[in-house]
Amino acid sequence: MLKKLLILVALLVVVLVAVIATRPSTYRVERSAAISTPPELVFAQVSDFHKWAAWSPWEKLDPNQKKTFEGPEAGVGASHHWSGNDQVGEGKMTITALKPSERIDIKLEFIRPWQATNSVEFLFKPEQAGTQVTWAVNGNNDFMGKAMTLFMDMDQMMGKDFEQGLANLKALAEAEQKKQLAETEAAKKAAEAAAAPADAAAPPAPAQ
């Protein structure tokens, strides 16, 4: 009886390993959102890691996480390292390439609770009403990663965070645009007000 049970268990393990081996070796999670601002305004919020705290979906999971920044203030070579609780873990992001107002490529390294290296891309496509922003991550599944896909949906798990992040980014960028427009209008009115007395005091043109 014990021998038969062991054979059955062994067969189940073989079947499970075979099923896991057939799981996809790569994955991609992608979400997009329409934002009513020019591409350059949204691009500025993403190309500078110092600004991520205002819209990142993971920021509130651990407000006390430790963050360090290296390299330039923004752009290629800029990196951001974070270490926090079990919800945010530990990792590092580095901007590897970009095309102003069009694309940003990021190397994403997870350190804790698991180790992995993924590639992240942000695409900014101008539209009549503003900008379509696409946020995507590409990764590889090792054997353990394939096994995890039997119990959780990576697209669903990460996708909801991307959707929240894009919603935050939309609100931030559109609020920034309103602020800039208000400042421009205020400066214009101030300039007109400053010029008005000078115009009024100017002597009348001589009669022809």
Cβ contacts of 187 within 8 Å, gap of 6 or more: none
Domain-embedded: residue 195: no
Instruction: Report the domain count for the chain.
Output: 1
Residue scoring higher pLDDT (126 or 205): 126
Domain-embedded: residue 113: yes
pLDDT band at 31 (very low <50, low <70, confident <90, very high): very high
pLDDT of residue 155: 73
Domain-embedded: residue 33: yes
pLDDT of residue 150: 46
pLDDT of residue 113: 85
Domain-embedded: residue 12: no
Domain-embedded: residue 199: no
Query: Does 93 have pLDDT greater than 50?
Result: yes
Write out pLDDT tens, residues 134-156.
999 987 666 455 445 545 666 77
Domain-embedded: residue 143: yes
Domain-embedded: residue 193: no
Angle of helix 39-46 relative to helix 154-201, nearest 10 degrees, comes to 120
Whichever domain contains 158, its CATH number is: 3.30.530.20
- Domain span at 51: 22-183
Q: Which residues pair with 123 in a beta bridge?
A: 103, 134
